[in-house]
Structure 1
Amino acid sequence: MSKTPYQLTLPDEIVSELHLKHNQLLNLTLRNGQLIIQQTNNPNERQTLSLRTFLIPSVVMAIIFTIYAVEQKMFRIPLGGDNSIASAVIMLSEISGIFMFLFIYFQQQRQQIDKLRRKTSWRVLPALTVAFVIILAFVTSGFFWAINYLFQTASFDLFTSIALFTMFNGIINFLMIYSALSISTLFITSIFVMTIIGGVLTAMVTNSSRMWWQYNLSFLGTDNALDSWQFNATLILAGLIWLALVDYLFVPLQKILRHNRRLITLRILLNLSALSLAGVGLFPNNAGRLHILHDQMANFLIYFILIMMLGNRWLLPNAPREFEATSYIICAILVTSMILFQWVGYLSLTTFEIVAFVLALSWILLLFQNIYRLYYHTYQTFVVPIS
């Protein structure tokens, strides 16, 4: 059976963006009913890792763990607690995991073709590094807290302890490498959502015996709460991730829509909102000057978000009508809740804060989604002929 040859005409923008050359070979992939064209030397195609990539640092850390255990004459090591497998994994995996994250991240950026994207990646690296340091500490601490709760007083001989340590460390190294390879707008958005929701819910559960809801949501970050630093760190961390996400969203968009005042204003408002969110965690709602600063940061966050909601039609080019209507509805609910709380006294402070938190977070995610769609669906979608 003879095959009919077909030709696909690529726009000049794609050829220029990918630095394609005449007679260059491309990979053509059919995936989930979609046609995907990639360069044969695309860095994304080399994301399959050899075992040695994450096992070598695990072996190195296992040697360090073994030397320490032998010197301390720890021939039977508990699973949890001080001088345990858990403490060793948390400490040494933090070092090896972040090292592998940075190592792979640097490799990825050297292979980045787009100079503007590469510049942005270096600029957001400090925020991403701090975010992943804290996330890794939270996740490992929480995981081993649960393991220790399930297997109380469990202990193992030295060889079994080394094997368990190496296994846990290898898993963490692999996840950190995978995170470095997966850095993208959607990935950072997912991390942002999981961080802020997971951190707040954890703080709520931890302080359930303190009946935090009788005070306010900000009680979770005060001196009267249990492990208040976790709640405050969550807000600071979410603010840092928010800043990184704004960069990832706006850099490619402003490359096309240069000197667009609406986008510049929206970007400034989003950055100010992120800094305000971080400020809410940086200044706990304790008595004195901290209370004043905390309230100011919270008020700034609400004002910036309300301004973006009311001005979404002007701030976001080609904003869908559904998004405009949704923004006005959410804004009306927020203002109504504020009136019911401050002037009517119908809503408690806790209820108002939870309603405002959920609505504001939901709208911010919708805004991020529409900014992402504006670039990738409007300016990165091309109509090409097949002949």
Structure 2
Amino acid sequence: MSKKYTIEIPASAMKKTGFKSNEQLELNVNHNEITIRPSKVTDQLPKIKLYWYILPAILLTIAFFIFCRNHHMRTVPITGDYSIANGSMLLSLISGLFVFVVSFIITKLRNNGPTKNVYWRSLPTITIACGLIIAFSFTAFFWLLGKIFTDARFDIYTSTTFVFVIIALINYLMINLALTLTSGIITNLLTIMIIGGMLFSMLTNSTRDWWKHNFSFLGTSQNSANLQFNVTLIFSGLLMIALVDYLFVNLQRKYPGVKTQLLRWLLYGEAACIAAIGLFPNDPKFHILHDRISMWLVYIMLILIVAIKWILPEVTKQFLTISYVIGAVMGAEYIVFKLANYLSLTAFELIEFALSFSWLLLLLQNIENLAQYGEQLFLVKIRDDLIDETLVGTEKQPQDKTKS
């Protein structure tokens, strides 16, 4: 005799999986998590047909080849004005965003994917955010290649092959993104957008001692990379609005009322302030407005931390403790900054940003868990049973009553 366990799964959860009775599944144990999934790996992946991403790549690669031939380019440099970097980035943006939008629209109209909970108004924001992330990634990647392979050039056929592979890869990733777009992915896009955009602005700006001024200096006209910094903030705010929209579709259905609406509008206000800081940089003509918006951002954050106990449904004691600790640290840092010269303005702003953004991600994660409960998260029971292993896999065979 040995002990085995039975997992009781709600019928509502089974309906969403599409699993059939007595179907053989695969159980994966990873640390403290148990995942039940189809035994075939291919069943877990989105069904993306080859021509969806290969055909646009072929067409744009032909355009790249014709362009190089018309300009009598026998070899193509990795970086520069007419290079593999610029060509692949421009064509990947065109092709990748096109297939993303088409895939999103088709999935949304068919109502057979996670995009059914994404509002149509969020599509332009998510698309532009993806485009900016692609542009930042390409710039950083080819900048590194340019440093490693200085003045490297490739013949037109090799260059065209590189461009084709890059475009096809971006197309596949963008189609996969459109078919699997969830709140978790939008949160990741938001994180990459803010952190990547700011790091990109820090690395590419012409003023190396910008940190001696303040964090907002990156968005002023005195910084050569101010456009990247401000655009990052604007679309980070818009992307956060899209994420809040997505999360509150199910949350307000389960927890209707004034408190949930108040939480939603406070998060809208936080996102609007992030976008407005980029829209009105810390230049002389916007200095006062920029400072006021920055203060509103802090005020809304403090209101959220103080009121989260009442406006977040089913808030946990652990999250409350983390919220109050982060709020206390932010308050203590503000007092130290005002009363002593221990912290510079840039250091103060960076620490405040790191603390507030971390807490905001935790809040969005809690909201996501609440929104998914009953939709993607379900309560299950594990029951232990004693099973005789000698009987497993054996059945009582019926007697053959026919006479020979």
Please report the TM-score for the alignment, with normalisation by the length of structure 2: 0.83
**One-letter amino acid matched to 2:227:** W
**What is the match of residue 149 of structure 1?**
147
Would the alpha carbon gap of residues 24 and 93 (structure 1) be closer, same or farther in structure 2, given more than 3 Å must change? same
CA distance in 2, matches of 1:95, 1:378: 38
Count the aligned residue pairs: 372
The one of 124, 127, 142 aligned to 2:122: 124
Instruction: Give unmatched runs, 5+ long, in structure 2.
Output: 1-5, 386-404
Say if 2:168 is the partner of 1:170: yes
Contact (CA 8 Å) 2:231, 2:278: kept in 1 or not?
Answer: yes
User: Pairwise CA RMSD of aligned residues?
Assistant: 3.0
Q: 1:357 to 1:297 in 2, by over 3 A?
A: same
Give the Cα–Cα distance (whole angstroms) in 1 for the partners of residues 24 and 107 of structure 2: 22
Q: What secondary structure is seen at the aligned counterpart in 2 of 1:268?
A: helix
Distance 1:167 1:37 in 2: 31
Matched with 2:372 is: 376
The C-alpha deviation readout for 1:92-122, integer Å capped at 9, x for no partner, is 11100101111221232233258x9626342
SS in 2 for 1:77: strand
Cα offsets for 1:312-336 (capped at 9, x unmatched): 1001011111111211121122122
Counterpart contact for 1:62–1:165, Cα < 8 Å: yes
Partner deviation per Cα, 1:133-186 (whole Å, 9 max, x = no partner): 211122122222222222222222221221121122122212222222231111
Could you say which residue in structure 2 is the equivalent of 1:307? 303
1:381 corresponds to which letter in structure 2?
F
Contact 1:10 1:384 survives alignment (8 Å) = no
Distance 1:8 1:61, change over 3 A: same
Aligned to 1:122, what secondary structure does the other structure show?
coil
Q: CA deviation at 1:209?
A: 5.6
Shift of 1:304: 0.7
Secondary structure of 2:154's match?
strand
| Structure with more helix by fraction | 1
Residues 332-383 of structure 1: per-residue CA shift (max 9 Å, x gap):
2212222232355543211210111011011101111211222335774244
Q: Is the 8 A contact 2:57 2:168 kept in 1?
A: yes
Confirm or deny that 1:272 pairs with 2:269: yes
Mean Cα displacement is larger for which, 150-159 or 53-62?
Answer: 150-159
Shift of the alpha carbon at 1:215? 0.8
Structure 1 residues 268 and 220: alpha-carbon distance in aligned structure 2, compared to 1, 3 A threshold? same
Q: Deviations over 1:182-230 (max 9, x none)?
A: 3111111112112212222232333496212211111111122231212
- Checking the alignment, whether the CA contact within 8 Å between 2:117 and 2:246 is kept in structure 1 is no
Match of 2:278 in 1: 281
**Which whole-Å CA distance do the structure 1 matches of 2:200 and 2:238 have between them?**
19
Q: Report matched runs for 1:206-217 at 5 Å.
A: 206-207=204-205, 210-217=208-215
Aligned equivalent of 1:237? 235
Change in 2 beyond 3 A, CA 1:327/1:9: closer
User: Counterpart of 1:31 in 2: which secondary structure?
Assistant: strand
Alignment TM-score, normalising by the size of structure 1: 0.86
Question: 205-214 or 180-189, which moves further after superposition?
Answer: 205-214
CA distance in 2: counterparts of 1:14 and 1:260, whole angstroms: 27
Larger radius of gyration: 2
Contact residue 76 and residue 155 of structure 2 kept, 8 A: yes
Aligned-partner Cα distance in 2 for 1:97–1:58: 9
Aligned to 1:100: 99
SS of corresponding position for 2:120: helix
Tell me if the contact between 2:99 and 2:171 (Cα under 8 Å) persists in the aligned partners: yes
In 2, the alpha carbon distance for the partners of 1:144 and 1:367 equals: 36
Q: What secondary structure does 2:25 align onto?
A: strand
Q: How many Å apart are 1:48 and its aligned residue? A: 3.9
Bigger relative contact order, structure 1 or 2, given CA contacts below 8 A and separation 6+? 2
- CA distance 1:26–1:176, shift in 2 (3 Å): farther
**C-alpha contact 1:8 1:384 (8 A) present in aligned 2:** yes
- Structure 1 189/163 Cα, relative in aligned 2: closer, same or farther at 3 Å? same
| Aligned partner (choices 338, 344, 361) of residue 334 of structure 2 | 338
One-letter amino acid of the structure 1 residue matched with residue 203 of structure 2: V
**SS of equivalent residue, structure 1 residue 187:** helix
Distance between the aligned counterparts of 1:324 and 1:381, measured in 2? 24
Query: Equivalents in 1 of 2:148, 2:237: separation in Å?
Result: 34
Q: Deviations over 1:260-295 (max 9, x none)?
A: 21111011001110110011111111112x112211
> Quick one: percent identity of the two aligned structures?
36
CA shift in 2, pair 1:320/1:252, >3 Å? same
1:57-136 correspondence runs (5 A): 57-113=56-112, 118=116, 120-136=118-134
- The question of whether the paired residues in 1 share the 8 Å contact of 2:88 and 2:166 is answered with yes
